[in-house]
Amino acid sequence: MIVLHAYSRKNSGDGLLVDLTTEVLKEAGLDKIDKIVALDKASFTEFDDKYEPKIIKANKLGKVIFALKAFLNIFVANDLYEKYLPKQCRGPIVSVGGGYMRGRTLLESIKTFLAHGPQLNWASRQKLSPVIYLPQSIGPFSGLMRIYVRSKLKKVNLIFARDDLTVKELNLPNVVRVPDLAVQELAMAYRNEEQQQAFDKIYLIARDVNVPGREKYIERLLELKRLIPNLEPLIQSEGRGNNDATFYKKLGWTGELRRVKEVLDIPENRGVVISVRLHGSLQSMISGCPSVHLSYERKGFGAFSDLGVSPYCHGFKKFDPKLVTQQANELQADASNYWDNINASVDNILSKRKKMINLIATECGKYK
């Protein structure tokens, strides 16, 4: 079995998605993962057979050259196929969940094309193996990129979408709407523990977002920092141009910065978490911490809708710092209604998980 589109364990949210992918595959009765394609293969020490595809990186020579290099990387370069993956695979091919296929800007589309286009292109050509994309947020795309991505996805067996916009925009018969893998994990773990109702601390999990509206987003974060004097920033991602510590320092935080897992995995450290990263919110909730999400993508609104806590999800460019502060303070004092809403959503989430696993097992069974 081959797993595609992994990223890096230096981002704890993406590492979590690989762990949850492994759990889903085991539950569907599939064998262990034989190969993994990851953009930071060295971070996945648990896998013996792993590959880090060569990516033609963006430079400053202009958008035309970017596009030309992307075209050559997909349609001329055969590195991914000849040196690591067979032209035709025998055995399940599974893509980790996530939101890596998106193109809100031209540069973002090119980066997606360079990093994930070759893997999608290879997967779409497979005739002897089932190809399954675990819960995804795909898009937005426009123009030729939308046509390209949709034409490739049309050829794979199953695509699980974790938000309604992905379903609507793809409009393909092989797309099935299910919750995010971390939402499913939260639902499975939720009833095993009594949830903490009051908290002493409020944390922030933020990230730099290089899209239109970035300036307003930073202004609102600084206002949030002012309104919550004891707000502690936590690091979820390091390296590969996505370093939370560097961003926090630009926002004026000084001193030692702690990582999400080393803080929230300890019950005594639990607190309310305001997170720009979706899996920062979901990991926090799995750890017993209620979260307010400042979503920069469609995936956040889908996840919080599935969990029954939509009022706690806000757009990252337009969120009201005073409202977010109010919600965080209320959750800090009493999170009982928050947990009750999640509890009411658990059965529906687990039902959709069961459906997803049955579909995976059935699809793979067709190739035996």
Chunked mean pLDDT (size 10), the chain, 368 residues: 88 82 92 85 87 61 53 54 78 89 80 83 92 92 86 95 92 95 88 82 91 86 95 84 85 90 90 93 91 89 94 94 97 96 94 96 87
Percent of the chain with pLDDT over 90: 50
* CA–centroid distance for 186 within its chain: 15
How many whole angstroms separate alpha carbon 154 and alpha carbon 120?
Answer: 11
* The pLDDT value given to residue 195: 87
* The pLDDT value given to residue 73: 54
How many whole angstroms separate alpha carbon 260 and alpha carbon 12?
Answer: 8
Spell out the domains of the chain, with CATH numbers in brackets.
Answer: 2-177 (3.40.50), 188-345 (3.40.50.2000)
- SS3 state of residue 233: strand
User: pLDDT digit string (tens) for 291-337?
Assistant: 999 998 788 898 999 999 999 999 988 999 999 999 999 999 999 99
* The pLDDT value given to residue 276: 93
* The pLDDT value given to residue 34: 85
Backbone angles phi, psi at 234, to 5 degrees: -120, 145
Residue owning tokens 């806590």: 309
Q: What is the edge-to-edge ordering of all strands in the sheet holding 271-275?
A: 258-259, 232-235, 201-205, 271-275, 291-295, 313-315
* The pLDDT value given to residue 113: 79
Residues in the chain: 368
DSSP annotation string for 276-304: SSHHHHHHHHHTT--EEEEESSHHHHHHH
DSSP annotation string for 43-92: G-TT-SSEE--------SS-HHHHHHHHHHHHHT--HHHHHTS-SS--S-
* The pLDDT value given to residue 298: 80
Find the largest Cα–Cα distance for the chain: 60
DSSP annotation string for 144-160: HHHHHHHHHHTTSSEEE
